[in-house]
Amino acid sequence: MDVDRRTVLGSVAIGTASASFPKSAFAAGEKPYRRIACEEGFLSPGVLAQNKISSTSALQLISADGPAAFLAGPLLDLGEGRIAAMDADGIDMQLLLLSSPGVQAFDAATAASLAGEANDYASAACARYPSRFAALAALAPQDPAGAVRELQRAATLPGIKGAIVNSHTNGEYLDATKYWLLFEALEAMDLPLYIHPREPAGSMNQIMAGPVVGGPAWAYAVETGTHVLRLIQAGVFDRFPKLRVVIGHMGEALPFWLPRIDNRYRFNLRGPSKLARLPGDYIRENVWITTSGMNYWPQLEMTLKVLGPDRLLYATDYPFEKQGEAVGFVEAMPLDAAQKKALFEDNATRVFKL
C-alpha cells in the first residue's frame, strides 16, 4: 500500500514551498510585524579562547581550530556581518545567547570571569544596534551567589533582558536547593530564564551518543526536557510562582508528552502530592517555548493547540540553523496574520520585555 509521502515527509513539503519565499523582509509599506528570533548563538573572544584550552572529546567545545571551526567566525561576529545576514534573511532582531555550554564547563573562577566578559561583549553589541540585538546574561552556576551578583550587574547593562543557563553544571541541575537563590533573584527582578541544551550529564552522555541518538538529534531534548521536569518535581514553581522559564526546540518534546506526564504522575504517587498542581499546569503557566530548529507544521500546530497561542516564540538557532530557510518554513505555514504576529513578535516582546 502506498504511504502518502506528503504526510510522512511533511517538513520536506514545507521546505519545498519555502524555496520561493522572498528572503528579504516584507515589501515596502507591508510590514505587519517584526521578526524577532529568540535563541541566537554567539561566542565572546574570551570564551572562544577558553573553549580551545578546555576542549575534550566529551565536551566538543567550539573553538577557532576544532571540528566546528567554521562556526567560530559567525558566532564571534556581532557586527556588520551578522546585521547583513539578518537583513538578507528577514530577521529584524536577534536575542543573543552565549553558545552552549557557555561557561559551565570551566572551573568556577574562570567561569565567573568569562560570564562577565561575555555579558559585556553582548551588551556592547546591543548598545551599538539597540533595535537589532537584545541579549540574555550568561551565568556561572558553579558559584550560585556569584551568579546572582553577575545577574544583578548584567541586568543594568544595555540590552540584557534575562538569563541563560545551558542545562546541567558539573552534572547538577537547578532543582538542587543551593541554586534556588537564582530563582529568587530572577523572580524579584522579573527576568526570564532560558534553559538551553548541552550534552547530557555523566554516564548518560555515553548512552546518548552517536549520530541518531546524540547531540541535537535527540539527546539535547531529553536532557533539557528532563531539567524542566526536575524543576517542577522539586516544587520550584510552587515556591516561585512568577518565575518564567523559556525552552527551545519546540519545547524539547514536552508538549507531546504532557498528558501522559500528568496521567502517570497520579499513578506514580504513593501518597499525597507535594505539588500544588499537576505537572502540566506548570508548563502551561510558567514555561514559554521557542521554535528553534523545529520548523515543522504538525509539531508547531500541536504545540499551539496544547499550550495556546501566547506561549510560542519564533527562534532560528543561528548560526546552527539557516535563518532565511527557517523564516521561509514558518512563513509558509497556514497561520493567519494575527497568529504570525504573535509568534514572530508579540510573545517575544512580552516575555523578554523588548
Residue of 89, 175, 317, 346 marked catalytic? 317
Please report, to the nearest 10 degrees, the dihedral formed by the alpha carbons of residues 137, 141, 143, 146 taken in order. 20
Does 40 sit near Mn ion (CB under 5 A)?
no
Q: Which is nearer to Mn ion, 185 or 193 (CB)?
A: 193
- The closest residue (CB) to Mn ion is 317
* Listed ranges 3-11, 61-69, 312-320, 338-346: which one lies at the site for Mn ion (CB under 5 A): 312-320
Q: CA–CA separation, 181 vs 36, rounded Å?
A: 30
The greatest distance separating any two alpha carbons of the chain, rounded to the nearest whole angstrom, comes to 63
CB of 220 to Mn ion, least distance (A): 8
CB of 68 to Mn ion, least distance (A): 13
Q: CA–CA separation, 150 vs 144, rounded Å?
A: 10
* Listed ranges 5-13, 70-78, 267-275, 314-322: which one lies at the site for Mn ion (CB under 5 A): 314-322
Three cell numbers, residue 18: 519555502
Q: Which is nearer to Mn ion, 112 or 136 (CB)?
A: 136
CB of 152 to Mn ion, least distance (A): 26
* 317 assigned to active site: yes
Q: CA–CA separation, 135 vs 161, rounded Å?
A: 6
Q: Which is nearer to Mn ion, 185 or 247 (CB)?
A: 247
Sheet strands side by side (includes 93-98): 36-42, 93-98, 133-138, 160-165, 193-195, 245-247, 287-290, 312-313
317, 321, 331, 345: residue in contact with Mn ion (rule CB under 5 A): 317
Q: Which residues does 242 contact at the CB level (< 8 Å), separation at least 6? A: 187, 190
Residues in the site for Mn ion, rule: CB under 5 A? 317
Q: Return the active site residues.
A: 317
